[in-house]
Each structure stands twice: as structure tokens, then as C-alpha cells.
Structure 1
Amino acid sequence: MQLGQIRQSSPLDPSKILLLLIIYALLWFGTLNYRHLIPSDEGRYAEMAREMLVTGDWVTPRYNGYKYFEKPPLQVWANAATFQVFGIGEWQARLWTALTGFLTILATAYTGTRIYSARAGWLAAVVLASSPMWVISGHFNSLDMGLSAFLVAALCSLLLAQTSHNKASSRNWMWSCWVFMALATLSKGLIGAAIPAMVFIAYSISVWDWKIWTRLRLFSGTIIYLLITSPWFVMVAQRNPEFLEFFFIHEHFQRFTQDAHSRTGPISYFVPLLLIGALPWILQIPGAITQAWQERRREFSSGWLLVCWFAIIFAFFSVSHSKLPGYIIPIFPALALLIGNRLDHLLGSTNSMALPWKLQTLGFALLGIFGFFFLDAIGKQARPDEIEAYAQYTYWVIAALIALISFSAFAALQSKRNGLQSIVSFASGFFLCAIIAGTGHETLGRAVSGIDLANRVKASIPGNVNFYSVRLLDHTMPFYLGRTMIMVEDPDELLFGVNQQPEIWLPTLDAFIARWKEDQTAYAIMVPEQYVALQGTNLPMQEVDRDSRRVIVKHPDNANTTQ
């Protein structure tokens, strides 16, 4: 960002920007290790990286010891490399998502500065940095943030390439776009190239500009794309001939057109997620889109391309048969750029915000106050063993609401006198609200993670024994125990893997019972209800330990009676 330009257009000093950036970075990265991993994504991708590091096989991804080809391995590679350098742990497992999310905020600022103005770029960064869904996703170990970061990097590169007046610069940015599309593909599959293609087709149709395709460096860009993506696809297919059909047909075509993954939802599924994800700025979206429409030009319109990016991604996943909240994360940086430009326009040369902005900030302050009347609803769905945890989480929610109310009220006071400071204050309140509420989730997530049970039993379980997972795929215990498990009867999402390696799983409970009687040193994990059912069959088991969700058993010691 060109800090000197900001000094000329607003009272915000570059040194203050740097200070805010340092504080933000400390809060962003400093909270990574507070929470333990929760199922399913966090545990899954941490365990896959641990197994990759332990086995030394960086080509064939495995989960719980079974082949796992649902997604390409870029994030697993990154996590495994992080484990190699910094050791195995929670913050290490989240570092990739946190880093890609943070750098995307900076990339959004830089792009906004180049295509709009320095102040618009700064405001775009502020908008994205305070969008609740972006903040939460940046602290959650899933593939969606890494994919979004590279997709947005491709979008930013494209914008910079098309707005550059220097031929060499335009070419280099366009090549960068192809590099980032390749990295997006290695993050989560062909969607890394499909989304930019769909957006650009929609843009070309909506403005009826087809000459722009001649500036995309299609031939050299395709070569760059294939040079980056092809090596892994070729190597994994050579080692695993079953990969190609499963990955390209099952994980792409069928995921979009069929309900096989049980991730369905109504066409309106993403509407509330959009409202919550961009909550502080939701009222600015209509004006931002209208302004982009009014500013569109025949030669190239950055704003209208951003609108197409938002609309196509939102519509594409809304009609898809597979829906998960993280699918729409790539839209938020595009919205941030549009809203940043809108806020810059509203500030004008007076650096003050009009009455609607003041009413908006006061409205959210009142909304925070209103939230105190619903605190007793937090624990209504709690299980008996979770009541205390929900009570503790209430204090985190109170702290989040206080931050929201305080900063929103201050933003209202500053709206006329210092509009830019008002916007930053308002954004700070929402960032703190999201980071406090998300970090405090540890009070609820700790029991789900199984960390306490794992810590109690890990040292007592020999390293060379078989460990069975009975009708259960626990996504966090393999990581925390540092061992894979033999699946019994219900492989869950490991169905493809057990079909490829039938010799290392037990397809029926009867097969497990027979194996258990022979395997005198074995351990097993199951839900409490399954433990009670097996007790009824007089299967020789000794309870090692349990929590509210799991029971770990072994063969009874010779001196003990069967439990």
C-alpha cells in the first residue's frame, strides 16, 4: 500500500497503520494455539499431515492409514512441512490457513490501492479483516481458506494485469494469475481453474467484451498451469491407478450433480451465511454493486468483474448438490474491494460519514445490547456433561458483546468528525467480537476434541499394538494419540480407502469380535453405547478410560476380571 497517498487523502498516519497491522497480526496469529482441534476438518487434515511426515510418502495422501484421494495435497504438504520445522501441534496445524488468510488481507489492500486509490485499498483491507467469516475461517484448519487465498490471488493478479499500462507488468501479472490458479487446483481440485473461467465468461457476456480473452496469455498460461499441477497428478495416478476415476468423476462431477456426499441444502443455504459472514458491511453491499455497475467501462471494469466474481460463486454453489459453509469464502475479498471503494466514495474529501452510517453503527451497538437478553439461551441445547462448559462460554460471549458495543458506539461518535477513524473503530469491534467468540469456543470444543482422554491414556498404550475403531471414525483421536486405527464395520468417509485396502479393515462387527479374541494385546475405541452393547455379549474387555463421547478398552489384565 502507498502509505504516503493515505497521508494526503486522510488524517490516518502511516505509522498508525503500521501499529494497527502489528496489533492485528499479534491477535491473528497469537490465538492459533488456544483451541484444541475439533472434528472433522481440523482433525482430518492435521492427521493426514502427521501421517505424511511419519511415512515419508508425499505422493499418496492417507487418512487413518487408508488411501484418501478426495482432495489434492497442497495443504497437507504445507502442514507436514510445518510439523517438520516446528513440531506437531495445534498452532502448527493452523498456521497455513492463518498465513494464507492474513496475506490475502494484505493482497486485497494492495490491489485496492492499484485499481482504485490508496484509501480505498486500506478500507478494503479493513472490511475483509473484520468480516466474521473470514476471521473464523483463518483460524480453522480446513482447505477452504487456502483455496480462497489462491483464488483471490488469481483474481487480484488478473485485475492488476488488465489495469496495468506497462506491457511487461501486465504479462507478469497474468502469468502470476495462472500460477495461483494452479496452486488453487492443488489445494482443492479443478474448482481452482473452473471458478475463474466461469467468472470470466460471465463477465465477457455481461459487458460483451471478447477481445479481453486475447490478453489472458492463454497458451503460455496453460503451460505454466500444467507444469505446476501435472507432476503430482501423474505420479499419484502411476502409483494408484484407481485415483483418476475417483478423483475426477466421484469428487468433482458427482459431488456437484448428486447427493452422494449427504451435504445437501436448499438453494437459499448460503444466504444466512452471507449475512453473517459480512455482517458489519451487509448494508454497504447494494450501494457497492450499484456503484460498480455505474462505473463499468467498455475496455475493462474492475468493479464489474468483482461483482461477477461474487455473483457466479454464490450462484454456482447455491445450485450445487454439495453444500458446506466454507464454499463461499472466496466471495468475501471481492466484496471487500467493492465495499472499500464504496466507503471511499462516501467519505469523499470531507472525511466524514453521513447520517445513515451513524444509524448503522448505533444499530449494531443496540444489537449487541440486545444480545445480553439471550445469554440464557446459549446452554439450552447442552448435554448434562456440557452445562459447565456452556456456562464458561457465556463469559466469552459477554466479552465479545462488550467489544462490539464499545467500538460501535465510539464509531457512531466519530462518524461526523473523523469518518475514517469511525470505520476503523467499527471494524475493530467486529474483529474483536469474532476473535473472542471464536477463541472462547475452546470451552465447548475441548470435550469434542478428546484431548484430555488422549493425554490420560497415550503413555500407557504400547506403540506396536493394533488399535481398532469400532463403528466409529473419530477425527481427532488418531492425531492426539499419534497412531492410525483399524476401521470396523462402518468406514464412514474412508469407504474408498477400505475398498482399495480390504486387508486392513474389518467389514463386520462379528469379524472384529473374532479378531479381538485372538489379538490379546489389542486396544479399541468406541462410543459408550457400543461399549454397553459389547458388554452384553460377554466380550472380554477392560475399560482403560473414557470421556462423554468415547470409551477406550483393552484386553483385561490377567489379574483383573472381565468388565
Structure 2
Amino acid sequence: MSEERPNRRRGSIAFLVLLWLLTQAVTILRQPLLDDVDSTHSEAAREMLLRHDFVTLYVDGVRYLDKPPLPYWLAAGSMAIFGQHDWAIRIPLALAMLVLILYVYRIGARLYGERAGFYAGCAMATAIGPFVYTRFFIPDVMLALWITVAFDMTLRMTEESERGRRASVAHAAVFALVCTAAVLTKGLIGVVFPLALLVGFLLFTGRLRLLLRMHPALGTLLFLVTAVPWHWLAVVQNAASGESKGFFWFYFINDQVNRYLNTRIPRDYDKVPLLLFYGLLFVWVLPWGVFLWHAAAERVRGWRAGNHNLRTPGVLLAWWTVLIVGFFTFSTRQEYYTLPAIPALALLTGAALARRDGEQRRQWAYSALAVSGVLLGVLCLAVAAVSHPPAHEELWQTLQKHPEDYALSFGHLFDFTESAFGFFRLPLLLMGVSLLVPTVAAWWLKRNGRSYAANVALALGMCAVLCTIHVGLEYFYPILGSKPLALALEKELRPGDRIVIDGQYSNNGGVNFYTHQPVWMLNGRTDTLWYGSLYADAPNRFETTTSLLAAWKSPQRVFFITHSAVRTDRWLALFGGKRIVENGGKFVLLNHD
């Protein structure tokens, strides 16, 4: 038995690493940067490396004071090792995801048994949300990792303190360092969430006195020693200058307090409706979220049977979920703000699945997945069969733009029209098969008492689904990214040339990253570069129509990037020049050779 368990653990870890390879490692090599936050954050990391300034972030030479530095330190370190490539930017996120998967597995195995940990790791590796939101460079998966470690330390310190002795110094130190890492990853909520997780759990279960046994003074001191230096240096290095109020006002007051209150300046984001926000959490944990009903039902049955024990890991996992979702219920909300709750849901799912291993009754969850997989799979196959790309048109010509929705991370989905699906026949065919076959196979295996095989089939099937989503994103990339434009521009650029983006930086930020050249924005002083441009030493990266026309008529060569065919034709007719590149509905104009 002792030999069987290590072999089982090694087999589980090997399979979870395989899932990570199929979903994360393979895809990072085929994924150019998207415009908007992806290219903005990537350029901040690139300029950090070039400037050797690890305190203040810069984008296009302008201060970018919105974000804490840890994700950018990691990305800059990756580029220092592997070179200034888009895939190098992805490596820290992919590795964070691997650590998170294995950490969830280990916690689940310790709390509920090896099989539960394995199922929890499968859920973490193949849930939709974590995959989708590692397609671009945002730090929420890293935050999920830090909160997962904080959960583990909370349980360990509580268990130790209940035995009448003080908690381990090592565990208290790890908790404090995790708070630092979370603050340097996501700002003030990085310390709010771990502390609320610990204090709230102790308060709710009537054990707040145990906090005194968890080395609070040592933890506080360690947190301050590790978290304060960067903040202090950032305040000193970015004092009020020109029209700016300095780092402290923008980073703490405007970007965190005012964002929570929905009064941030500039308001370059949108607020997801509350019911959609809740519903998306269920979507992000699909297909595994359907099994959460089992966990909830078991808790209700236990409560009715007189088991009112609240001092359990399951209660802390529930509090973890409620804390994340509840916090953002009363603030600004993006679709991905619930991601830090997904490890908790994965652990609850793993425990519920493990308790039902071998059962052949009450298989409605697998039946529901099979029915949904068949219906959606057949729908995808049918759409692929009847859809054909319009003759003599490109994808961008079939879309209906809704720029008012682009502040949402999935705003471009509203652009789809019936004719646009014709360009996605292959992804639709792959998605149809990926949905239909694994869900039916999982149902059949579970029905025959092969629970482990059923869940393995579901995990592998989700790898196919997620890779198909990635393929679809590649098909859609010309709409969302600027790498083809940048590569074409590189062949044309000469020293002294100027690149001008029509609108704000996020419209074509990838051009800045891939060409390694500064860009100017026409009437684009509206996004997060606005505040950095107020500093007295900020380079002038913003053009007005008057200044651009003056440059257009000068001997300097000017490349103008716009997203409108009508505007392109009108500009060339009025001011001259020529169109040199076109891709995905984006046009590059040149004033003269």
C-alpha cells in the first residue's frame, strides 16, 4: 500500500502536468499580443527591462502608474532570459498556472484524499475561466495563487493554534509574504483578501482569540519590511510634477479607492451587470461547476441531520468564494474579477466528486453534461455545415462594430454577424466534436461505475475544447491585434520616421511592442497614459489634428494607422499619401516616400 500511494501521486501529478502542457505550454508559442491591456502591460515590462527602472512603469516613454510591479518584474526577467518575444511575456503566467494546479492538488489531497485532490487539480487545469484569462497579460491568476497559499496557511495556523500552542513561525511568515506578493500583484485587495479570509473565518467560528497565537506582530513586521519599500520608492520617484498630483493620489486614491467607488479618472472601463457577473462565475468553472450542486446538497443534508460544525475546510472554502464575489458586488466589476475564487470552487468540486466515486445512482450531473454537450455540439456542427464565408469579403468586413462595448474584455463578441461565422468553420467543427464526444463518454463511463475514467475523459475533452477556443482566437486575431501591421511597418521604417495611432494607445499598442519604436496618438489623451503625460518630464506623445496635418505635410515620413476604410479614403483624398498596409480592418497610410 505504501508503494501504491507514491505511484498514485506520481501518476496524478504527471497527468496534471500533461493537462497544463496541452492547455498552457503549447499555446503560448502561437499567441501574439492582443491590443489593449495585453500589449500595454507587455510594453510596460519591456520598457522596465530597457530602462533598468524597476520602480516606475513606463509605456511608450510615459509613466504608467496604474499597476503594482511584481507581474512586470517576472515578465521582464523572462525577457532578460529568453529575449524580447511575446511568448516570453506568457511564461510567468503559464508557470503561475502550473504551480496553482499542483498546489490545488496537494491541498485537496491533504484535506479530502488523493482522489479528491486529483479531481480538484483537473478542474483547476481545464476550467474555462483560468484558460481564457491567461490568453492575455493580466495578473488575476497570480492573485488566485497567492490567495490559495493564504488559505492553506490559514488552515494550518488554525489547526496548530487549536492544539493549545502557538502557530508555526514558518507558516506565519509565509502568510505575511503571500500578503506582500498579493499587494505587489494586484494592489490593496492583495492584503484585504488574505486578512479577511483569516480573520473572517476565525470570527465566524468563534475563535478570534486564536489570532494572538499566530505571531501577528512578526507577520505585520515582515509584511511592512517587504511591502513598504517599493511603495515608498514609487512615491518618492514620482512626486507631484507639472499638472500631476503624484503617485500617491493616482495609485492609492484614484486607481484603487475611486475605482472601487466607480469614480476613477479616466473612466476607461465598464461595469458588468451584477446578474451577469454572478452567472459568469459559473461559466468560468464549467464543466466542473455542475458538480458543485453535490457539495451544496451534502452540506444541507448534514445541517438537517444535526451536523452544525462550521470549523471545517469546506466552510472556509465557501467563505473564500463569498468573500471574492461579495467584495466586487459593491464595486466596479470586470468579467474576470471572480477568478481568484475558482481554486476554492475547484477544491469543493474535487471533494464532491471523490465522495461519489463508484456511485451509479443520481448521475444527473453527468447526464446534464452529456445532453448539453450533444445539443451544443450538434449546433456547432450544424452552423459549420451551413455557414460559408461571403465571397470577396474578409472577416472584418462582416462584423458590426460596437465600440461602446469594448471596455468589457469580451466586448468584441457583440460584433459577430451571421455571415462572420463562415470564417470559423474549422473551429466550429472542432468545437462540435470536442463537446459531443467527451461528455457522452464521461456519462457512459460513469453509468458503468468507472468514475475515475469518466472524469479523466472529461478533463481530456476539455483540453480539446480549450485548444479550440485558442484556435478561434487565432482566427479572430487580425481584429484584436497589430502584429502583422508591426511586421510590415518594420520593413518600411527609417530613422526619424513617426508612427501615429488614430485614437488612444490601446487601439494599436502592439505596434509599439513589436517595432520597438515610440508611437504618437491622434486625439488619444483619454486612457491610462493620460495621467503620466501630466508630468513635467513626460514626452509629448499626443497629436492634435492640426499638429498631425503639419507633420503630414512636412519632409518627415509619417505612418498613420486607422481602423476605418471610409476614414482612410477620405484622408487620402483630402491630404494625399498612400495606403501601404491593410490587415484586419486596420490601414497604415504613409504621407510620402
TM-score by length of 2: 0.84
Matched, 1:451 2:483: yes
CA distance in 2, matches of 1:155, 1:282: 20
Q: Distance in 2 between matches of 1:49 and 1:223?
A: 30
| Distance apart, 1:256 and its partner CA | 0.7
Residue 359 of structure 1 pairs with residue 354 of structure 2:
no
Matches within 5 A, 1:217-232: 217-232=215-230
Say whether 1:496 aligns with 2:504.
Answer: no
Once the two structures are overlaid, the 10-residue window that deviates more, 542-551 or 218-227, is: 542-551
**Partner in structure 2 of residue 189 of structure 1:** 187
| C-alpha separation in 2, matches of 1:343 and 1:265 | 32
Distance 2:436 2:201 in 1: 40
Moved more, 381-390 or 521-530: 381-390
Q: 2:63 pairs with 52, 67, 72, which one?
A: 67
Q: What residue number does 2:122 align with?
A: 126
- Over 3 Å counting, the alpha-carbon distance change for 1:101 and 1:486 in structure 2 is same
Report the CA distance shift for 1:300/1:184 in structure 2 as closer, same or farther (over 3 A): same
Task: For residues 232-251 of structure 1, give each alpha carbon's deviation from its aligned partner in whole angstroms, at most 9, with x where no partner exists.
Answer: 11111111011011000011
Q: Structure 1 residues 194 and 118, CA, compared in 2 at 3 Å: closer, same or farther? A: same
CA distance in 1, matches of 2:9, 2:361: 21
Q: How does 1:279-298 map to 2 (within 5 A)?
A: 279-291=286-298, 294=302
Secondary structure, in 3 states, of the residue corresponding to 2:579?
strand
The 1:402–1:445 alpha-carbon spacing in structure 2 relative to 1, beyond 3 Å, is: same
Q: 1:263 to 1:365 in 2, by over 3 A?
A: closer
Structure-2 change in CA distance of 1:404 and 1:68 (3 Å): same
Which range is displaced more, 13-22 or 249-258?
13-22
Distance 1:378 1:97 in 2: 37
What secondary structure is seen at the aligned counterpart in 2 of 1:25?
helix
> Is the Cα contact below 8 Å between 2:378 and 2:436 reproduced in 1?
no
Distance 1:443 1:144 in 2: 25
Which residue does 1:17 correspond to in 2? 12
How far, CA to CA, are the matches of 2:549 and 2:375 in structure 1?
Answer: 56
The 2-side partners of 1:182 and 1:329 are apart by 19
Provide the C-alpha distance between the structure 2 equivalents of 1:199 and 1:268, rounded to a whole number of angstroms: 24
- Shift, 1:269, TM fit: 2.9
Structure 1 residue 371 corresponds to structure 2 residue 371: no
Contact 2:47 2:58 in 1 (8 A): yes
Residue 428, structure 1, aligned to residue 460, structure 2: yes
Of 396, 411, 420, the match for 2:442: 411
- The residue aligned with 2:356 is 346
Q: Is the 8 A contact 2:445 2:451 kept in 1?
A: yes
1-structure distance, mates of 2:291, 2:439: 16
Distance change in 2, residues 1:84/1:353 (3 Å): farther
Aligned to 2:282: 275
1:359 to partner: Cα distance: 2.0
1:305 alignment partner in structure 2: 316
Distance in 2 separating the partners of 1:102 and 1:471: 38
Q: Which amino acid aligns with 1:509?
A: T
2:110 paired residue number: 114
1:537 CA displacement = 4.5
**Could you say what secondary structure the match of 1:544 adopts?**
strand
C-alpha contact (below 8 Å) 2:17/2:98 kept by paired residues: no
Task: Quote the residue 1:10 is aligned against.
Answer: none
Question: Hey, what does 1:142 align to over in structure 2?
Answer: 138
Equivalent position amino acid for 1:236 in 2: A
Residue 425 of structure 2 aligns with which residue? 394
The alignment covers a number of residue pairs equal to 547
Equivalent residue of 2:292, what SS?
helix
Taking a change above 3 Å as real, the CA distance of residues 134 and 3 of structure 1, as seen in their structure-2 partners, is: farther
Counterpart of 1:550, as a letter, is K
1:39–1:448 CA contact under 8 A, matched in 2? yes
CA distance in 1, matches of 2:209, 2:309: 11
Judged with a 3 Å threshold, the aligned counterparts in structure 2 of structure 1 residues 207 and 449 are, in CA distance, closer, same or farther, namely same
Residues 1:44 and 1:132: Cα distance change in structure 2 (over 3 Å)? same
Structure 1: any 5+ residue segments left out of the alignment?
Answer: 8-12, 558-563
Name the SS for the 1:435 alignment partner.
helix
The amino acid across from 2:342 in the alignment is F
Change in Cα spacing, 1:14 to 1:195, as seen in structure 2 (3 Å) is: closer
Q: Which of 351-360 and 543-552 deviates more?
A: 351-360
Query: What is the root-mean-square deviation of aligned Cα atoms in Å?
Result: 3.0
For residues 519 and 488 of structure 1, the distance between their equivalents in structure 2, rounded to whole angstroms, comes to: 19
Alignment partner of 1:45 out of 38, 41, 46: 41
Shift in Å, 1:550: 2.9
Is the 2:180–2:190 Cα contact (8 Å) retained in structure 1?
yes
Matches of 1:449 and 1:332, distance apart in 2: 28
Aligned residue identity for 2:68:
P
Distance 1:268 1:73, change over 3 A: same
Q: Which moved more, 1:232-241 or 1:479-488?
A: 479-488
Q: Which moved more, 1:32-41 or 1:386-395?
A: 386-395
Equivalent residues of 2:523, 2:542 under 8 A apart: yes
Q: 1:392 to 1:534 in 2, by over 3 A?
A: closer
- Given the superposition, is the C-alpha separation of residues 308 and 449 from structure 1 closer, same or farther in structure 2, using an over 3 Å criterion? same
- Following superposition, the deviation at residue 229 of structure 1 comes to 1.6
- CA deviation map 1:180-237 (0-9, x unaligned): 1211111111110112233344434433332232244321112222222222111111
Q: 1:245 aligns with which of 233, 249, 260?
A: 249
CA contact (8 A) 2:19 2:460 kept: no
In the other structure, the counterpart of 2:511 is 477
- The C-alpha deviation readout for 1:32-89, integer Å capped at 9, x for no partner, is 1112221222211111111222222222101122111111111111111111111122
Instruction: Give the corresponding residue for 1:442.
Output: 474
The correspondence of residues 55-94 of structure 1 with structure 2, limited to 5 A, is 55-94=51-90
Q: 1:22 to 1:74 in 2, by over 3 A?
A: closer
The secondary structure found in structure 2 opposite 1:469 is strand
The answer as to whether partners of 2:369 and 2:439 remain within 8 angstroms in 1 is yes
Partner of 1:31: 27
> How far apart are residue 496 of structure 1 and its match?
0.7
Q: In 1, are the aligned partners of 2:395 and 2:423 still within 8 Å (CA)?
A: no
Name 1:99's counterpart in structure 2. Answer: 95
Q: 1:527 to 1:127 in 2, by over 3 A?
A: closer
* Counterpart contact for 1:94–1:141, Cα < 8 Å: yes
Q: Which residue of the other structure, out of 542, 547, 553, is the alignment partner of 1:511?
A: 547
Residue 20 and residue 506 in structure 1: after superposition, are their counterparts in 2 closer, same or farther (change >3 A)? closer
TM-score normalised by L of structure 1: 0.88
Distance 1:71 1:519 in 2: 39
C-alpha deviation, 1:365, in angstroms: 3.3
Shift of 1:121: 1.3
Q: 1:486 aligns with which of 515, 520, 533?
A: 520
CA contact (8 A) 2:324 2:341 kept: yes
Q: Is the 8 A contact 1:104 1:153 kept in 2?
A: no
Larger deviation: 218-227 or 358-367?
Answer: 358-367
Q: Superposed, which structure 2 residues align to 1:168-207 within 5 Å?
A: 170-207=168-205
State the 1:16 CA deviation: 4.0
Q: 1:185 to 1:462 in 2, by over 3 A?
A: same
1:133 partner letter: G
Shift of 1:309: 0.8
The one of 331, 334, 352 aligned to 1:324: 334
Distance 1:29 1:134, change over 3 A: same
Residues 97, 139 of structure 1: 8 Å contact kept: no
State the Cα deviation string for residues 236-275 of structure 1 (Å, max 9, x = none): 1111011011000011111011254342232213123112
Describe the shift of the 1:100–1:526 C-alpha distance in structure 2 as closer, same or farther (beyond 3 A).
same
- Preserved contact between residue 209 and residue 298 of structure 1 (Cα < 8 Å): no
